[in-house]
Chains A and B, each alone.
Chain A
Amino acid sequence: MTLAMRLLSMAALALSALPQKLPLGEVPRGKVVLILQPHHDDHTTDYGMGGLIARMVDEGYEAYYVRASNDEKDGAHGYARNDIVNLRESVEGTRILGIRKVISLNWRNDYMNPIPLNELREQLIVLIRKYKPDVVLGHNPWEHYQKNPDHRQVARAMAEAWWMAGFANVHPEHAALGLQPHSAHYLYGKARLDWGLGHRPNVAIELNESQVRKKQKAYVAHLNVYANPATARAYRVALARENLAVPEWESLTDAEAAVLMEEWHMQWISRRRGAEAGVPYAEDYYVLGEFDHLPGLKEYLSKNVVAR
């Protein structure tokens, strides 16, 4: 195959991979969202959930963040110190988004693959029964090429906990603690679109400027792992070799430039997802709705359910 043909076929492949325009989803009516994640920074991982969390809080939701691992590997300060710093930054980052509380389960970071999944699932069920979320938000349990074992396990436990918590015969012993059965009715799954075909979002959630700004700020609250000044310094050096510079960085230290660069990244991805949905800013999700587990009844319900 000639180079030209190869380039043409690559271009065709890239075009065919372009996502179709996503429908805009509304935030469901509700009071509580529970964000179930393994790590301190997963509320605003690079493809982002922070915008939706900020929007839900704007629309009246109470938000609670579950951090399933102890984050001991994330950072350069050794296990114990990383755990402390990452928890502190998690509290700060989630506060920016309007989240009320961080609940740490403290499973060992990056070693969650062999943990008893039903035990983790029970922890999530306890929290769902306590906080009674309408919406559960986390990594898409069915995404492909997810390499992080903590992401896989928490997502898989979430895939069952969100609805199973509504069945009284699931951990009936919880009743003695005053925890009544409660199902969440919506699951919002997030994943990276560039990791295979496992995550094909079905809605885009529109964000406003303020929500994107909160997402940016929440992301760079995690200075233990993001916004490394050395990265900005390396960019400056590389650009200077070609007589180039970033005007916005001229009066900034490397640390400040690194923060700005991360904020741009958050804005860029929110703008890109927005463009795909025909709005200024957005995030995309695969949403499982209240009756998606009853595919045979969906049409019947849509025609026959009426207001009281």
Chain B
Amino acid sequence: MTGMRLAAVGFAALGLAGADRVVVVTAGGADYVLAAGGTLAEMAGRGAEIHVLRLTNDEKDSWRLTPEETAARARREAEAAGALLGVKSVTSLGYRAWELGAVSFTELRDRIMLFIRHHKPRTLFIPNPHTHYDRVLDRYYAGRAAEDAWRSAGVEGVQPVQAEAGLQPHITHDVYYYAPPVDPERRTPEASATFVPQPKVVEIGAGLAKKIAVAQVYVTANESLARRLEERLRTSGRRLPVLDEITPAAIRRLVEENVRGLAKLAAAGTGYAAAEEFHYAGIEFRIPASYR
């Protein structure tokens, strides 16, 4: 990769104080856990108060369950996963999964903005709407709305009725954009550090075991993944020995391999053993170094 410049930053540089608040916006499923679970586990361990806003109901990702049953299980699993991760609250908005494209952008933005104004986070984690080749477009719609919610939450004139409910404008200092690592250009630095988030890699060695355990809580979607993978391999004359018998233990093993694989990909070129990668908008994003 030509011109690659990684900002490999450990937790010493995160500047987290014990009482910091964090808001995570997720389209659904285990998205935020797979992309940022290690970082969030570390933050929770340091005393951060983390609130997750889950936009959709995950009703479609299961194996031979109705949408209603899938949604009910997915919600229970999302809440259990959050609790294990050390998250203080998981709030579900209940939009139908994989149909966010039909939801008004402004409606979605304003609901995320309300959440931000209510919790007043120092740090936001949002899906990266600028990533390429992520085939789940709910993440794009969620990220686009969340990005504007971050901006608009600090603007008094946007949804002034929220002030009537006691919500004041709020500016979030740090934003971590997360995405599955499917974009080959994801580590190419953007044009300028000012007003454009930059690639950032966070070491997660200490949080990797917790991240694996949390990802394994999403039993319904994980079984769907395992069975679809086994079906694809079987119908094309192949097999993955660990899935010869699809047991809960085999599925957990698959999830562990997935999380370890993601951590290895993110750590590539950094010297870390396990990491997560983001686009990060911190102080450089707002104030050029020459003015500080």
**Cα–Cα, bound, A187→B135 (Å):** 10
User: What is the chain A residue whose CB lies nearest that of B101?
Assistant: A117
* Among A168, A202, A294, A296: residue with most chain B CB under 10 A: A296
Given contacts A296-B265, A299-B261, contact A200 B184 (CB under 8 A): yes
Known: A118-B102, A306-B241. A295 touches B185 (CB 8 A): no
- Chain A interface category by residue count: 35 or more
B contact residues around A208 at 8 Å (CB): none
A156 touches B137 (CB 8 A): yes
Collect the chain B residues with CB atoms within 8 Å of residue A116's CB.
Answer: 102
Contact yes or no, A297 B257, CB < 8 A: yes
Given A116-B102, A142-B133, A308-B238, decide whether A295 and B180 contact each other with a Cβ distance below 8 A: yes
Q: Does B182 interact with chain A (Cβ within 8 Å)?
A: yes
Chain A contacts of B98 at CB under 8 A?
A: 160, 164, 170
Asked if B60 and A169 make an inter-chain contact with CB atoms under 8 angstroms apart, the answer reads yes
Interface string of B31-67 (1 = CB under 8 A from A): 0001000000000000000000000000111101111
Pick the interface stretch among A228-236, A267-275, A285-293: A285-293
When distances are taken between beta carbons in the complex, the residues of chain A under 8 Å from B91 are: none
Verify A296–B260 contact, CB threshold 8 A. yes
Q: Are A142 and B132 in contact (CB under 8 A)?
A: yes
Give complex CA distance A298, B181 in Å: 12
Q: Which residue in chain B gives the minimum CB-CB distance to A297?
A: B258
Q: Nearest A residue to B70 by beta-carbon distance? A: A169
B180 and A170 contacting across the interface, CB-CB below 8 Å: no
Question: Are B137 and A159 in touch, CB under 8 angstroms?
Answer: yes
Taking residues whose C-beta sits less than 8 angstroms from the other chain, chain B's interface range is: 35 or more
Specify which chain B residues have a CB less than 8 angstroms from the CB of A298 in the assembled complex: 261
Residues B228 and A166 in contact, CB atoms below 8 Å apart = yes
Within 8 A of A (CB), among B136-166: 136-137
User: Interface stretch among B20-28, B194-202, B229-237?
Assistant: B229-237
Please measure, in the bound complex, the distance between the C-alpha atom of A116 and the C-alpha atom of B103, giving whole angstroms: 11
Interface residues of A in 249-308 (CB under 8 A from B): 286, 288, 290, 292-301, 304-308
- Interface bits B253-272 vs A (CB < 8 Å: 1, else 0): 01001111110110000000
Instruction: Identify B265's interface contact among A160, A183, A295, CB under 8 A.
Output: A295
Q: Tell me which residues across on chain A come within 8 A of B257, comparing CB atoms.
A: 296-297, 300
Interface residues of A in 17-66 (CB under 8 A from B): 29
A residues apposed to B, CB below 8 Å: 29, 116-118, 142, 156, 159-160, 162-164, 166-170, 172, 183, 185, 187, 197-198, 200, 202, 286, 288, 290, 292-301, 304-308
Extra pairs beyond A170-B98, A197-B185, A300-B261 (9, CB < 8 Å): A117-B102, A118-B101, A156-B137, A159-B135, A169-B65, A293-B135, A294-B258, A295-B181, A306-B240
